[in-house]
Amino acid sequence: MSLLVKAQREGSTIARVTPESAGWRHVGFSAHRLARDQVLHVHDAARESCIVVLTGVVSIEVGGQRFSSIGARNSVFEDAAPYALYLPPNLRATVHAERDAEIGVASAPANGRYGMRLIEPSQMKRSVRGKGLNTRYVCDILPQTEPAESLLVVEVRTPGGHASSYPPHKHDADNIPLESALEETYYHRLNPPQGFAFQRVYTDSRDIDESMAVEDHDVVMVPRGYHPVVVPYGYDSYYLNVMAGPQRVWHFKNDPAHEWIMTRDA
């Protein structure tokens, strides 16, 4: 089975990954395009969800509450954080597009320990990671420092000609604090949209070694292994990451063959 999930170019569902389709236990992800006045229902009896308003403006009704005019970005490539809503299990949310919108829905197993809440852009930490042609711009939407049972959600913008998720790193071993076991999805966007980027997923033993040309709206599944991204000159990259595993903590291990890059300019 390929780790690349190609986007659907028509219809409201752009791409969908479930634990069953991926052959793993934790991460679920779907992306949706909503025309004005279109509705999306989000509900799972045994999983928590994080609804990310990638672009556009929506209202969300959930648990007798209504959040109106959520969203501010016209593009994921804007220098701005998104809005998101954390949804515990067995609570139904109705997302109504006030204008054309793009929505990402992340999910993972949960028991309902935390209540529903709106996560505003001002609550999200934004940072610059790497240097030189390894520079990228990170926004922590639902990091391990904020309440959730399983989910970790982050978005990354990478300029053209740069590498990202680099040097190659992995998080597939239950060896905390050195490394944690987390499944992951990458939801890719490209600007301009006819562009492409490259992502490789590989393990030390090379029992997984897949190199993919990803196009706008494609999803890459990372069950385990290292997973760098390289963006050709002229096209900027965006990806939304969803991670989850047995423990909700992110510890990663760099590929020893390439870790020297970290100290090259030190």
Residue with tokens 């076991």: 181
Strand 93-97: give its sheet, edge to edge: 39-42, 93-97, 58-62, 65-70
What structural domains and CATH numbers belong to the chain? 8-263 (2.60.120.10)
Distance between CA 86 and CA 83 in Å, rounded?
10
Asked if 58 and 96 count as a contact pair (C-beta separation under 8 A), the reply is yes
pLDDT per residue, tens digit, the chain (266 aa), is: 799 999 999 999 999 999 999 999 999 999 999 999 999 999 999 999 999 999 999 999 998 999 999 999 999 999 999 999 999 999 999 999 999 999 999 999 999 999 999 999 999 999 999 999 999 999 999 999 999 999 999 999 999 999 999 999 999 999 999 999 999 999 999 999 999 999 999 999 999 999 999 999 999 999 999 999 999 999 999 999 999 999 999 999 999 999 998 877 54
Euclidean distance between CA atoms 27 and 20, whole angstroms: 10
Got the DSSP string for the chain? --SEEPPPSSSSEEEEE-HHHHTSSS-EEEEEEE-TT-EEEE--SSEEEEEEEEES-EEEEETTEEEEEE---S-TTSSS--EEEEE-TT--EEEEESSSEEEEEEEEE--S-S--EEE-GGGSEEEEES-GGG-EEEEEEE-TTS--SS-EEEEEEE-TT-EES-S-EE-EEEETTTEEE-EEEEEEEEESTT-EEEEEEE-TT-SSEEEEEEETT-EEEESSSB--EE--TT-EEEEEEEEE-SSS----EE-TTTGGGGGTT-
Specify burial of residue 169 (Cβ count, 10 A radius: 0-12, 13-18, 19+). Answer: middle
- Say what the pLDDT of residue 265 is: 53
What is the per-residue pLDDT for 1? 73
- Alpha-carbon distance of 9 to 194, in angstroms, equals 13
Q: What is the pTM of this model?
A: 0.97
